[in-house]
């Protein structure tokens, strides 16, 4: 393909990914990538598509030794996706040992885990992502038991590699996800839903 197409990429995601939670994750990463592209005057569709396809093969081939993201990279290459995008997909997995040399790759790495973490924070707040501040995200990051699968070290490395201020970085991701809260299922919840989940943290 001469140019990346968001519609084609989403069709590919729907073909490879059945898990609703994983689809929501790649949509969240897409939103964060697009927000950075707009802020930095980069190619928004390229950034968005990179976010969409970065976990393309994770559901089918989750094993780090032989699977993800190798199968995704092969599929994307066969479809003529840009090498810069494929390299960014490779670079988001530390164990691949692929250096993140472009802004595209550094941005993907910086927003991947954080987008998932911000969404997790929103899910335990009665107001969802509405009104969320960086300080409440940072507070949760210091609680190892919360969203324990999220790699805090990767979030920190991503911030350092991208060369951004932590609060501004977190605020940008919050804003990006808030703009698609309904689609991502992280908007304000009904009182009954909040009670079923045991309440939630204060709307800090």
**pLDDT tens by residue, 51-100:** 999 999 999 999 999 999 999 999 999 999 999 999 999 999 999 999 99
Q: So where are the chain's domains?
A: 6-196
* Model confidence, pTM: 0.91
pLDDT recorded at residue 203:
33
Measured between alpha carbons, how far is 2 from 163 in angstroms, rounded to an integer?
A: 31
Say yes or no to pLDDT of 2 above 60.
no
Q: How far apart are CA 12 and CA 31, in angstroms?
A: 17
Rg (CA), the chain: 17
Torsion angle, alpha carbons of 18, 22, 24, 26, to 10: -110
C-alpha separations of 161 from 69, 118, 139, 149, 196 in Å: 21, 20, 22, 22, 40
Q: Is the pLDDT of residue 195 over 50?
A: no
The stretches of the chain forming alpha helices (DSSP H) are 6-16, 20-40, 44-53, 70-78, 83-91, 103-123, 134-141, 152-162, 166-178, 181-184, 191-196
**pLDDT tens digits for range 164-177:** 999 999 999 999 99
Position 200 pLDDT exceeds 60: no
């Amino acid at each position: 393909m001469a140019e990346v197409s968001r519609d084609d990429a989403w069709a590919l995601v729907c073909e490879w990914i059945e898990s609703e939670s994983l689809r929501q994750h790649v949509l969240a990463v897409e939103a964060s990538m697009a927000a950075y592209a707009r802020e930095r005057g980069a190619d928004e569709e390229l950034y968005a598509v990179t976010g969409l396809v970065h976990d393309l093969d994770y559901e089918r081939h989750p094993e780090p030794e032989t699977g993800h993201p190798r199968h995704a990279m092969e599929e994307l290459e066969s479809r003529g996706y840009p090498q810069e995008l494929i390299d960014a997909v490779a670079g988001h997995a530390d164990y691949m040992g692929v250096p993140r040399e472009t802004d595209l790759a550094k941005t993907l790495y910086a927003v991947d885990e954080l987008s998932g973490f911000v969404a997790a924070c929103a899910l335990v707040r009665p107001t969802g992502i509405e009104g969320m501040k960086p300080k409440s995200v940072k507070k949760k990051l210091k609680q190892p038991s919360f969203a324990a699968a999220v790699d805090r070290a990767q979030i920190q490395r991503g911030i350092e590699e991208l060369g951004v201020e932590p609060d501004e970085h977190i605020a940008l991701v919050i804003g990006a996800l808030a703009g698609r809260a309904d689609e991502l299922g992280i908007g304000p919840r009904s009182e009954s839903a909040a009670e079923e989940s045991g309440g939630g943290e204060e709307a800090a």
